[in-house]
């Protein structure tokens, strides 16, 4: 017969989960990059105390390219949260080894490795990041059967050029001023399934007045009290109605999904990352 946990055990577990939640929150960026003509906004709503979702946004020197990341680790709970931290760290470290200090650790400020990284095109950088992260997880942690779908983008604030690798993730969306939508569909498999997989990069342009929106599947799979799913149609309606800025995209979509789900229990983590390019 299993002994039920005591009140003190439950309190201890609650404290430990709160610590885990705070640590995980620290893996998210404290603030989003600011660049001339580009605005960013993001939100993450975990279904439980800890989440398998993550997002990131950071600037690569010296070009000023903004890297945008949205990821979703398979499964839920503590295990997914641990791998969320690993995936996020691998992506950030491999995309930005200069800012993260890794280059200094292996040979000083001006090395051939650093010069090669700084001269890489955004598309080359993203495919390398996807390949490195995929191979690390698949080779060192393959026995866990943990993987993540990830959208990786590299946005040039000056031109609006958006290079991207979609590793088995929900298609990110470009929203035009007139409400037209373009899907940025997968260009490779989820990260961590098998080593030596091939990843290619796609390209799009974020024109002035356009919006960009990446999300995890917990958004479109959110359920109403009657069990209906939010779905792509509701999402597209919310995007078209709120495409005035990155902030209104995130706030408008969240308001729409909250109105739809009402008091229903969260089905999955929900993560949103939006960008907008101002006119003029």
Domain boundaries, the chain: 36-277
Tokens read off for 216:
């995890």
pLDDT at 112 over 50: no
> What are the DSSP calls for 188-245, one per residue?
BPPBTSSTT-----EEEE--TT-EEEEE-HHHHT-B-TTS-B-HHHHHHHHHHHTTT-
1-27 b/e (C-beta count within 10 Å ≥ 16 → b) = eeeeeeeeeeeeeeeeeeeebeebeeb
The pLDDT of residue 118 is: 61
Please write the tens of the pLDDT for every residue from 122-138.
999 999 999 999 999 99
Distance CA 132, CA 134 (A): 5
| 141 CB neighbour count, 10 Å cutoff | 14
Distance CA 155, CA 206 (A): 8
Is the model more confident about 196 or about 24? 196
Please write the tens of the pLDDT for every residue from 4-37.
666 687 777 667 667 666 667 777 899 999 999 9
Please write the tens of the pLDDT for every residue from 139-154.
999 999 999 999 999 9
Cα-based distances in Å from 12 to 18, 25, 50 = 10, 20, 16
Distance CA 20, CA 81 (A): 9
The pLDDT of residue 180 is: 96
pLDDT at 77 over 90: no
Distance CA 55, CA 92 (A): 11
Pick the CATH number of 36-277 from 3.40.50.1110, 3.60.40.10, 3.90.1200.10, 3.40.640.10: 3.60.40.10
Tokens read off for 104:
């200094």
The pLDDT of residue 25 is: 72
- Phi, psi torsion values for 17, nearest 5 degrees: -70, -35
Distance CA 116, CA 225 (A): 53
Beta strands 181-184; 172-175: pairing state: antiparallel
């Amino acid at each position: 017969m299993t002994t039920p946990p005591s009140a003190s055990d439950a309190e201890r577990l609650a404290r430990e989960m709160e610590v885990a939640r705070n640590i995980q929150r620290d893996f998210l960026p404290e603030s989003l990059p600011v660049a001339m003509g580009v605005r960013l906004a993001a939100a993450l709503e975990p279904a439980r105390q800890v989440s398998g979702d993550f997002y990131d946004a950071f600037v690569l020197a010296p070009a000023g390219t903004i890297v945008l990341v949205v990821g979703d680790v398979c499964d839920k709970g503590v295990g997914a949260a641990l791998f969320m931290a690993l995936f996020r760290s691998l992506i950030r470290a491999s995309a930005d080894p200069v800012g993260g200090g890794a280059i200094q650790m292996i040979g000083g400020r001006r090395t051939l490795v650093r010069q090669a990284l700084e001269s890489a095109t955004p598309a080359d950088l993203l495919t390398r990041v996807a390949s490195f992260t995929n191979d690390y997880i698949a080779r060192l942690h393959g026995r866990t059967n943990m993987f993540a779908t990830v959208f990786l983008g590299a946005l040039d604030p000056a031109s609006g050029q958006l290079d991207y690798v979609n590793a088995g993730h929900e298609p990110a969306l470009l929203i035009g001023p007139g409400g037209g939508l373009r899907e940025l569909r997968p260009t490779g498999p989820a990260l961590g399934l098998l080593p030596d997989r091939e990843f290619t990069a796609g390209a799009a342009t974020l024109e002035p007045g356009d919006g960009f929106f990446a999300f995890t599947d917990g958004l479109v799979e959110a359920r109403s009290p009657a069990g209906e799913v939010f779905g792509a149609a509701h999402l597209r309606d919310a995007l078209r109605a709120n495409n005035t800025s990155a902030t209104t995209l995130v706030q408008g979509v969240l308001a729409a999904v909250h109105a739809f789900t009402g008091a229903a229990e969260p089905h999955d983590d929900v993560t949103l990352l939006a960008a907008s390019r101002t006119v003029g």
